[in-house]
Structure 1
Amino acid sequence: MVKATLEGPGIRLSAAELLAQRESRLPTSRHRPASRRPGALPAKPAGAGMDLREIRAFAEGDDARRIDPAATARTGIPHIRSFHEDRDDTVLLVADFRPPMLWGTGNALRSVRGARMLARQGWQALARGAAIAAIAFDAAGTALVPGGAGAPHMARIAQMLAGRHDHALDAITEPTGAGATLSQALIQATRLAPSGSEVLLATGVEGIAPEDEPALARLARRRRVRLLLALDPLDTAPPARALPIHAGALHRMARLQPVDTHALAARLRALNVSLDVIAHDAG
């Protein structure tokens, strides 16, 4: 009965539906940056990767090797040369398939809706010429696809996400151990996403525990991190009546409260992370 239930629409995640999230054509050519690594884009036209941007006063954390002797001698204050450098247009998609994401009262599980949103963001990144990479983690472990570009690469990511989601669903009825934590996935993300890149994490209300915050803050120091919050109808408009709550040996009646996204957004801002809410009718 459980296996049959897990085959319903909006429960299984298919690579085809992730590929169907594509909204625009991919570019046929890209401006070649100084680096050959996918996602590395020049901040200015070709040949300007180390062009002088400005000479300014030295600040804590600046590279002392870039001190400008002439400006320093003229002003009596240490000055450095600041250059235009290649920035990195890589987008890392991180999908949370842990048990709290594997449920839903709407037309799809939280995990499925989160993966669809990640796929849409991935296609949009490819359309502007960026590189994309992906990590998925669940109760059975993690899987990743390194950075790359183009529709074939997106197909590899879609296959990985769909396969990992299947593993996550199977782990509900066949537990395999403690599995991966968010902190472990974030450590992998820090290694996989270069400085200056963007990281999109699709998770639920319970996704960020206090013990995960240090790893999330480290990830966000040199990267743009956005949390895509997949909300269920029960999260936004819970029934007014009391519901039975079961947690191990604990049984009680309680009323559910709507999710306070403002409090979560404030908590994430302190970590330099932005919040995007995926409404239950948007996935």
Structure 2
Amino acid sequence: MIPREILRKVRRIEITTRGLVDQVFSGEYHSVFKGRGINFAEVREYDYGDDIRTIDWNVTARTGTPHVKIFEEERELTVMLLVDVSASGDFGTRERMKGDLAVEVCSLLAFSAIKNNDKVGLIIFSDRVEKFVPPRKGRRHVLRVLREMLYHEPAGRTTDLGAALEYLSRIIRRRAVVFVVSDFVSKPFEKALGVAGRRHDIVALRVRDRRESELPSIGLVELEDAETGERLVVDTSNRDFRAAFASRGEEARAGQDRTFRRSKVDVVDLSPGRPYLRPLMRFFEERGRRI
């Protein structure tokens, strides 16, 4: 039995995100992802004005008459949500945690997908794959996806994105649009990302709170690594320490960016303390111009 509190959260998130989809977001999703897949439909005789690059030379040679291949857009896509539920998702310094933001963003993407008659699937992971929900269509299915994200109790505390990507490559054979929602503080994953990226269209949604790389000057503070449990008392009034802390965070971010560039993966930065719709729409607009 799913607790009533979880059902109320699902309903609240549905109302919020479906409103955003209906009002502003669905068109952005549609323009970037719909029709990206192309399927062969038929062969017909060449007409004046046809693109010569579509000529089917085998049929032309067999019949003695120029023929061209006709393609049609693939009207149904599969959208996979890979959601990191490691312990670092419980961090947040403003009105919500990183994990809460991940659920809302996934809800927005899922409702956008079903509005366009696409399938939605889910992989929940930490240092292991914890849950797989096969891709399907429809509102009831999306509500199930939301319930799984909200109700799931993680078994692992650390992150192994590589294992999740390898699982994706094994289980989803047909090309999919894959949104990976994580802070990407993980065991090495570049090889698995490259392999998965050759088949799937991967978008990294990097969820980071600014306090993970920027400390206020408030004196002695005990910091705890959410994933390892390691604790350390630091003096945040020390300017050199704050600078070193910020530099370390920037180096980690830059390293992730290099990995994404090498794998040709787009990245969108999201923060629990800031509205998420604007960076998502900016990404879709920029990507739409590249198509």
TM-score tier by shorter-chain length is 0.5 to 0.7
1:264 aligned residue: 256
Partners of 1:250 and 1:50 lie apart in 2 by: 63
Unaligned runs of 5+ in 1: 1-8, 26-38, 58-65, 75-79, 172-176
1:22 aligned residue: 18
2:176 aligned residue: 197
Shift of residue 145 of structure 1? Answer: 1.3
5 Å matches for 1:123-202? 123-138=111-126, 142-164=130-152, 167-168=153-154, 181-202=160-181
AA matched with 1:191: R
5 Å matches for 1:39-118? 49-52=40-43, 56=53, 68=58, 70=60, 84=71, 87=74, 89-118=77-106
For the 8 Å contact 2:129–2:163, the answer to whether it is kept is no
AA matched with 1:215: A
For the 8 Å contact 1:92–1:133, the answer to whether it is kept is yes
AA matched with 1:226: V
Which structure dedicates a bigger proportion of its chain to helix?
Answer: 2
Q: SS of the residue aligned with 1:272?
A: coil
Shift of residue 139 of structure 1? Answer: 5.9
Unaligned runs of 5+ in 2: 23-32, 44-49, 236-240, 277-291
AA matched with 2:274: D
* TM-score between both structures, scaled by the size of structure 2: 0.65
Partners of 2:149 and 2:41 lie apart in 1 by: 38
For the 8 Å contact 2:126–2:161, the answer to whether it is kept is no
For the 8 Å contact 1:144–1:160, the answer to whether it is kept is no
AA matched with 1:267: T
Over 3 Å counting, the alpha-carbon distance change for 1:81 and 1:263 in structure 2 is farther
Partners of 1:278 and 1:120 lie apart in 2 by: 14
State how many pairs are aligned: 235
Over 3 Å counting, the alpha-carbon distance change for 1:84 and 1:43 in structure 2 is farther
AA matched with 1:95: V
AA matched with 1:138: S
Q: SS of the residue aligned with 2:178?
A: strand
Shift of residue 257 of structure 1? Answer: 0.7
AA matched with 2:197: A
What is the aligned counterpart of 1:224 among 180, 201, 217? Answer: 201
AA matched with 2:175: G
Q: SS of the residue aligned with 1:161?
A: helix
Shift of residue 93 of structure 1? Answer: 0.9
Partners of 2:211 and 2:258 lie apart in 1 by: 22
What is the aligned counterpart of 1:278 among 260, 270, 273? Answer: 270
Shift of residue 228 of structure 1? Answer: 0.6
AA matched with 2:264: N
AA matched with 1:201: V
Over 3 Å counting, the alpha-carbon distance change for 1:190 and 1:86 in structure 2 is farther
Partners of 2:10 and 2:210 lie apart in 1 by: 25
AA matched with 1:50: A
Shift of residue 266 of structure 1? Answer: 3.4
Deviation digits for residues 205-247 of structure 1 (CA, Å, limit 9, x no counterpart): 514x3x2111111111121101111121314643257755567
Shift of residue 98 of structure 1? Answer: 0.4
Partners of 1:192 and 1:231 lie apart in 2 by: 29
Partners of 2:162 and 2:126 lie apart in 1 by: 12
Partners of 1:194 and 1:230 lie apart in 2 by: 27
